[in-house]
Amino acid sequence: MKRFILLSFALITSLGADTLAFGSKDASTQSSPSSYQSLQLSVTQTMEAALAVLQKVPAYYRHHVGIYQNEERYVVRYQNDKFPRILPWISRDFKKAGFKDAFIVPSTTAEPIQLAAAAAPSPSMPLKKEEPSVPVRANISEAVPTLSRHDQTRLILDAQRAYEQRDFTQATVYYEMMDAAGLKDRQILLNLAYLYGREGSFALLEKKIEGKRGVDDYLYAYGIGALEAGRSDLYTSLSPHLMYDKSGRLAMVCGYFFEQEKNLERAHTFYKMAYNAAPSNPHILYAYARSADIRGERDQALYLYTQLAELGSEFESLRLIAQTRIQTLRR
C-alpha cells in the first residue's frame, strides 16, 4: 500500500486497480509510453495568471501540476504518467473543482518552469505596487492585515515548494498563514483539511470548519490526508460523522482504511454502506464491486460490474475494468 501516493478518491480506486484488481497482466490493459496523456487546465498570457490558476488546484493533486512555457504563453497542466488509466476520473475531479474547460492532451516531454524562478519579476510579468495594509476593525488588536498580491503569490509558492519537498508541516504553516490573513478561498481550507489529516490534527480541523457549509468536503479531504499518511486514528476521527454523510464518501474512506489494516470483512461493510448511500457514484460502485469479487460473491460482483460497464465515456477506464471482469466471471 505504501507504493502509491493517495491524492484523491480517484487515486484510491487506482489502488484497487493496480494491486487487487484482476487481469492486470493482460497486455490490453497496459499503457505504452506513446499513449501517455495529460490534462490541460488552462492557457494564460502571463506567469502571474498561470500562478493564479495553480492556486486553485487541490493540494493533493498539485505536485503533479506544472506550468509549461509554449512560445509566449503559459500552459498549466496535470501530468502523472505513473497512473495513465485514471486520467478520465481525475479530469472529472478537476471539472468539479472549477476547471470546466480542462481537457485531455498528449503528455509533453518538456520540463515545467521551476516555481522558484517563476517568482522573480520578468518582462511578461510587470511589477505590481504593494497595496497598503488596512485594518479591517477599529480595534487594532483585532486587525487582520491585508495581503498584497505579491505576498499572496509568495505564500502560495512557499506552500507549494514545501509540499513538493514533502515538508508537510511547513506547508501547513503557510496555509494557516493564508487562512489567518482572511483570504476568502475555500480551496485554502480544503488544502488545510488534507494536511491536518496527514498530521492527525482533527481538533484543529473541527475548529476551522465549525459553522461552515460543505463540512463533508473538508472531512473527506481530511480522510484522504490521513489515509495517505497511514494514520491509525482515521476511523476514530471520522466515525461520529458517518451517520450524517449523505455522499457515501466518508464510508468509502473508512473502507479503504480497514482494507489497509487487512480487515477485509469490515472494509466490505463500509463499502456496502457507501454504496447504499450513493449507488450511482462510479468510484463507490467500483470499490463495492471489487470487494464482492474478492470475496467470491460472483452474482453480486457481476451485477455491480454490469452497472459499471454501462457508464458513459468519461469513465472509460472503469468500464474497461468492469468488462474484463464480466468476461472472466462468466467463463
- Domain locations along the chain: 37-114
Check if the beta carbon of residue 219 is closer than 8 Å to that of residue 187. Answer: no
Number of H helices, E strands in the chain: 16, 4
pLDDT at 281: 93
Helices 249-260 and 282-294, interaxial angle, to 10°? 30
- Residue 44: its H or E element: strand 37-44
For the segment(s) 37-114, the CATH number from 1.10.10, 3.90.1720, 3.30.70, 3.40.190 is 3.30.70
CA 100, 322, 107, 65 dihedral sign is positive
Residue 159 makes CB contacts below 8 A (sequence gap 6+) with 171, 174, 175, 178, 191
Distance CA 60, CA 73 (A): 26
Find where cell 506513446 sits.
34
Residue 200's pLDDT is what?
94
**What pLDDT was estimated at residue 222?**
96
Give the model's confidence band at 85: pLDDT under 50 very low, under 70 low, under 90 confident, else very high: low
Average pLDDT estimate for 317-325: 91
Phi (first) and psi of residue 125, to 5 degrees: -130, 80
**Is residue 21 over pLDDT 70?**
no
pLDDT band at 28 (very low <50, low <70, confident <90, very high): very low
